[in-house]
Amino acid sequence: MRKRLYRVLVALIGALMVLMVGTPGAAQATETPPPDATAIQVTLQDEANKDAQGNPKPIEGVTLEVTKDGEKAGEGVTDAKGVAIIEVEELGKYVVTLDEKTLPSGTVLDENTKNEATVQVRFQGPNNRAIFPIGVTAGEQSNFGKDLAQNLRAGIVFALVLCLAALGFSLIFGTTGLSNFAHGELLTFGALMAWTFDQLFKTGGLATVSVILAGIIAVVLGGVGGYVQDKVLWGPLRRRGTGLIAMMIVSIGLSIFLRYLFQYFYTSSTRSVSQYSGQQRETHWYYLGLAFADREAITVLISIVTITAVCVWLAKSRMGKAMRAVSDNPALAASSGLRVDGVITNAWVIGAALTALSGVLYALTLQVNVFMGMRILLVIFAAVTLGGLGTIWGSLVGSLVIGLVYELGPLFGVPTSIKEVGPLLIMIVILLVRPQGILGRKERLG
């Protein structure tokens, strides 16, 4: 039964992967590398005038002026892609004014659009966007199908990122029984390391592979972090016979410790990595009716490959089998001659590395912030609880469902500002009706 389930999962994941890879289409122009300085980014596109692939036509040569408190702070002209990046000196509230005289003839701002937009510059880097909808009709803005496609895409990406973190959590929970409240910080650690090494590489000769290299280093460091954690903290605690609840409270302490330590060194500002931060939806990543941006496509690809690899490894390899044995029944595993402590160390290394990878990918999707892990921690809990705490396959299923609910919820009435509520409510309900989760077994309950 379990074996068949795993085969189905692998087949499913494989099929998804084939769909994703597909055949690459025509090469596309890459986005202009954004300068690192804080800037406002404006993209002007004529939604009423679309090309064959359905992409709106960019509007070139429009003059934009940025003012702050009535004083001029910058000026820019849109390039061939309709993008203008206007540098500003500091964070704050700016007004972007569009010079209507420079709009190409035939293009008019529609009635509801003013030629002014107010922008709150909150992020360092060029990701502060001013929006001028041009040629957008009212009907298009609330098109359910379009919203569904968009949220579905975001949901798939988020679900897969979540899946990696949940897998890491499950490996650790399965072998040790610890509900690790510091798991979110492992994710933050991955993202912060990726950002740090990206800063190192992005100016040198490695600039073209900067993020990839930084990501690999972050994942390795994440694994090392897991090893160190197990050797220094959790291993000794296990040998002392410390109870699970005590360990859980220790993990809360660790989470607070790490979070403020990160904030000490990285402040609480939001940053983004130097590559793959573009929003442009390239047509060669067009699958199943969903157009993925470069970074989304890469996120999906990497996570599917990793998840598949981990699943196969868990099912086939000696260590994977040992890990499942320990998570099934530690006492029996120990008496059958398994070195349980070594297996647990392995679970920590792999679990932490997977979580760090999840952090790296999350850093591409969202920006890097020291609180990102804390925010997503309860969603990870929801995912693994839904699937069944400590079951590997359960955490896959659970995070797919939770990730989609998280992004699709707003379409069905969950207020957008509190998307987190959906997954948390699902978790509470599932504990009500089936506390062991979808794929869990009853004996895990107290």
Partner 1 sequence: MDILDILRAALQQALGPQAIVFVLAAIGLNIHFGYTGLLNFGQAGFVAAGAYGMAVTVVTFDAPFWLGLVMAIVAPLVLAVILGVPTLRLRADYLAIVTIAAAEVLRFIFGAVETKDTFGGSNGLNGYAKPFQEANPFSSGLDLGIVSFGRNDLWSLTVGWALVALCCLLVWALMRSPWGRVLRSIREDEDAVRSLGKNVFAYKMQALALGGVIGGLGGAFLALKQASVVPSDYSTLMTFYAFAALLLGGAGRVMGPVIGAFVFWFLIAGLGSFFSQSAGDGGWIPTVIMSDTQASLIRYIMLGLAIMLLMIFRPQGIIGDRREIAIDGR
In single-letter form, the type of residue at position 340 comes to V
The one segment of 190-198, 206-214, 241-249, 318-326 that binds partner 1 by CB under 8 A: 241-249
Determine if 258 is a binding residue for partner 1 (CB under 8 A): yes
The one segment of 20-28, 150-158, 242-250, 293-301 that binds partner 1 by CB under 8 A: 242-250
Shortest separation between residue 209's beta carbon and partner 1, angstroms: 32
Of 270-299, which residues contact partner 1 (CB under 8 A)?
none
Residues 412-441, one symbol each (x = binds partner 1 by CB under 8 A, - = not), give ---x-xx-xx--xx-xx--xx--x------
Nearer to partner 1, 252 or 290 (CB): 252
Rounded CA gap, 200 and 206, in Å?
Answer: 9
Determine if 306 is a binding residue for partner 1 (CB under 8 A): no
Cα–Cα nearest to 108, from 51, 44, 54: 44
Determine if 61 is a binding residue for partner 1 (CB under 8 A): no
Cα–Cα nearest to 186, from 172, 197, 176: 172
Determine if 252 is a binding residue for partner 1 (CB under 8 A): yes
Determine if 261 is a binding residue for partner 1 (CB under 8 A): yes
Contact 34, 85 (CB under 8 A): yes
Nearer to partner 1, 69 or 443 (CB): 443
Contact 88, 70 (CB under 8 A): no
Instruction: Give the burial class of 162: count Cβ atoms within 10 A of its Cβ; 0-12 exposed, 13-18 middle, 19 or more buried.
Output: buried
Tell me which of 260, 328, 329, 434 binds partner 1, using CB under 8 A: 260
**Two tokens, residue 41:** 């980014």
Determine if 267 is a binding residue for partner 1 (CB under 8 A): yes
Determine if 237 is a binding residue for partner 1 (CB under 8 A): yes
Contact 239, 164 (CB under 8 A): no
Determine if 381 is a binding residue for partner 1 (CB under 8 A): yes
Count CB atoms within 10 A of the CB of residue 26. Answer: 8
Q: Which residues contact 143 (CB under 8 A, 6 or more apart)?
A: none
Tell me which of 131, 249, 288, 309 binds partner 1, using CB under 8 A: 249
Nearer to partner 1, 118 or 267 (CB): 267
Coil, helix or strand for 286? strand
Tell me which of 2, 257, 328, 329 binds partner 1, using CB under 8 A: 257
Determine if 244 is a binding residue for partner 1 (CB under 8 A): yes
Shortest separation between residue 425's beta carbon and partner 1, angstroms: 7
Shortest separation between residue 265's beta carbon and partner 1, angstroms: 8
Shortest separation between residue 258's beta carbon and partner 1, angstroms: 7
The one segment of 33-41, 144-152, 316-324, 375-383 that binds partner 1 by CB under 8 A: 375-383
What percent of the chain is helix, strand and coil (3-state, nearest 5)? 60, 15, 30
Q: What does the chain come to in residues?
A: 446
Contact 270, 128 (CB under 8 A): no
Residues 153-192, one symbol each (x = binds partner 1 by CB under 8 A, - = not), give --------------------------x-------------
**Distance in angstroms between the alpha carbons of the first and the last residue of the chain:** 25
Please count the residues of this chain forming the interface with partner 1, following the rule CB under 8 A.
Answer: 44
**CA distances for 304 relative to 84, 170, 220, 321, angstroms:** 35, 17, 19, 21
φ, ψ for residue 39, nearest 5 deg: -155, 160
**Two tokens, residue 427:** 């978790």
Contact 136, 343 (CB under 8 A): no
Nearer to partner 1, 378 or 411 (CB): 378
Rounded CA gap, 276 and 412, in Å?
Answer: 30
The one segment of 120-128, 259-267, 337-345, 355-363 that binds partner 1 by CB under 8 A: 259-267
Rounded CA gap, 108 and 97, in Å?
Answer: 15
Tell me which of 254, 297, 386, 439 binds partner 1, using CB under 8 A: 254
Give me the sign of the Cα torsion angle 311, 313, 319, 322.
Answer: positive
| Residue numbers at the binding site for partner 1 (CB under 8 A) | 179, 233, 237, 242-246, 248-250, 252-261, 263-264, 267, 378, 381-382, 385, 389, 415, 417-418, 420-421, 424-425, 427-428, 431-432, 435, 444-446
